[in-house]
Structure 1
Amino acid sequence: MSLPRMQPSDGIAWITGASTGIGEALALELARRGWSVAITARRLDLLEDVARRADGLPGRIVAHAGDVTDAAAMQAVVDGIESVHGPIALAVLNAGIAPESDGLLDMEAFERIIAVNLVGVARGVSAVRDRMGARGRGQIAVTASVAGYGGLPGASAYGVSKAAVIHLCETLKFDCDRAGITLQLVNPGWVDTPMTRPKTVPMPLIITPEAAARRIADGLASGGFEITFPRRLSWLLKAVNLLPYPAYFWLLRQASRRKGARTL
């Protein structure tokens, strides 16, 4: 089945979690490639600063504040974008958090992470899927993480949220295919963002947000279900997760002892 890869002429791009980090860099990268981009996060002042930085680029960026944990707000954001700027052709559901956790299972942090990283993604898909389906075309990309491939030491809440997002996208792909919607899963490794900078865990093969944005934008343009980088890290973690549990737990235990891994 040949599914669409949307172009700037098809409508506007919408990115959540776009005030900093990967979302910010991707908004600017898409604007460089001629897209009109609507960006969403909770803080309007940060969004407007990103939008100003697109001045002089082939495309443009417009700010629409909203909270991905609020279903009514997400629907209102999508309504507002489409009523003012036209159809959302490309949605990149990127909002995510990784707060420090306390103890074996910090339930406050766990619930916050699930609300943003998983439920927030589902709300975003829900807000655009029917509209795209009615038009018979569209493209949705969801940001998860290589941390979702399998259990990692100290990553209980974050890893669970990203594993669930991966599973959600694998499941939704069948319905999206039938509706003519291209669904893609973005699984980055470590990216140097405000979310990762405070952490003390090892960050092998870390890249800049700008490099991540270029890889995501290339993947959006070329198609394929999974966009993952750096491939050396993602394929290594995929291989590790094929091991029998005794070998898997032994290997991860040794790696965490050697590198002093702490909570994500």
Structure 2
Amino acid sequence: MSFPIRTPMPADGVAWVTGASSGIGEHVALRLAGEGWTVVASARRADALEALAARARGPGRIVPWPVDLVDLEATRAAVAGIKAAHGPVALAVLNAGTFKPDSARTLKAEEYRQTVDINLMGTIHCLDALLPDMIGRQLGHLAIVSSVAGYRGLPRSLAYGATKAALINLAESLKLDVERYGVKVQLVSPGFIKTPLTDKNDFPMPFLMPVEEAAERLVSGLKGEGFEITFPRRFTFWLQRLRCLPYPAYFNIVRRTVPK
């Protein structure tokens, strides 16, 4: 038996935004609160979450909930605690992530593992905690934040690109698996967004988008029926086309256009 997919509303439960202490997550939390959601904002930095909650403007609100998503049991406890205190999670924007440029000459397994633990396993830990209740209710909305860096391999992005590619594949598989239970899955694939993560980059970032605009695009996309939410379109449109190229043509274009 399959169940119809309905986009949850604030009356159906709370929104949970991970990676909410800065960047896209911070501004998505503010925007969702402005649209009436009770937003549970999670990250590791409790002070940043408290400051974020103080900036919320109704009709919704932001509830700080610090948690380290690399810790599976802590993540399970957080989701159970959120449900007990505020109600079930109806919408989850799984946005927590990290980025550090790397290359074959600088690759360290310990740093690679850290990126995998935060970007990939942190998301999987969230799904482990969220899916039983969403499937049981036949209601839920999961937005998995990846990146256009996951479309194809790029220089200086060995760990980050690999984790984001894994998230794309995960979101695709998850959609096919849980849509029969009435759970909505979307993939978010941003390009370059001005955040504390990209402020550290020392290479050109075409069509760099203000984080406030990125959050607006993301929240608007959550209301739609499309699977992928991507922005800025002037940049991501061309990267989506590159996914279709055979390897020789793709490698030639990247060698000529992407700084190493």
Task: Indicate whether the TM-score tops 0.5.
Answer: yes
SS in 2 for 1:68: coil
d(CA) in 2 for partners of 1:100 and 1:240? 22
Q: Tell me if the contact between 2:101 and 2:156 (Cα under 8 Å) persists in the aligned partners.
A: no
SS in 1 for 2:193: coil
Identity %: 46
State which of 129, 136, 139 in structure 1 corresponds to 2:138.
136
d(CA) in 2 for partners of 1:159 and 1:135? 34
Counterpart in 1 of 2:216? 214
Which amino acid in the other structure matches residue 79 of structure 1?
Answer: A
Is 1:200–2:175 an aligned residue pair? no
Q: Deviations over 1:158-211 (max 9, x none)?
A: 000000000011111112101110011000001100011011121111111111
State which of 178, 182, 186 in structure 1 corresponds to 2:188.
186
Counterpart in 1 of 2:75? 74
Q: Deviations over 1:19-72 (max 9, x none)?
A: 000000000000111111001111111111000101x42110001110110000
Moved over 6 A (4+): none
SS in 2 for 1:92: strand
Counterpart in 1 of 2:63? 62
Structure 1 unaligned spans of 5+: none
Which amino acid in the other structure matches residue 67 of structure 1?
Answer: D
d(CA) in 2 for partners of 1:178 and 1:222? 18
Counterpart in 1 of 2:32? 30
Q: Tell me if the contact between 1:17 and 1:41 (Cα under 8 Å) persists in the aligned partners.
A: yes
Could you say what the CA RMSD is over the residues aligned between the two structures, in angstroms?
A: 1.3
Q: CA deviation at 1:241?
A: 2.1
Q: Tell me if the contact between 1:19 and 1:46 (Cα under 8 Å) persists in the aligned partners.
A: yes
Q: Tell me if the contact between 2:193 and 2:209 (Cα under 8 Å) persists in the aligned partners.
A: yes
Q: Tell me if the contact between 1:26 and 1:217 (Cα under 8 Å) persists in the aligned partners.
A: yes
Counterpart in 1 of 2:23? 21
SS in 2 for 1:80: helix
TM-score by length of 1: 0.94
d(CA) in 2 for partners of 1:230 and 1:28? 20
Which amino acid in the other structure matches residue 108 of structure 1?
Answer: E
Q: State the number of aligned residues.
A: 257
Counterpart in 2 of 1:107? 109
d(CA) in 2 for partners of 1:101 and 1:49? 32
Q: CA deviation at 1:104?
A: 4.6
**Residues 239-248 or 1-10, more deviating:** 1-10
Which amino acid in the other structure matches residue 99 of structure 1?
Answer: K
Q: CA deviation at 1:2?
A: 4.6
Q: CA deviation at 1:101?
A: 3.1
Structure 2 unaligned spans of 5+: none
Is 1:153–2:160 an aligned residue pair? no
Q: Tell me if the contact between 1:6 and 1:221 (Cα under 8 Å) persists in the aligned partners.
A: no
TM-score by length of 2: 0.96
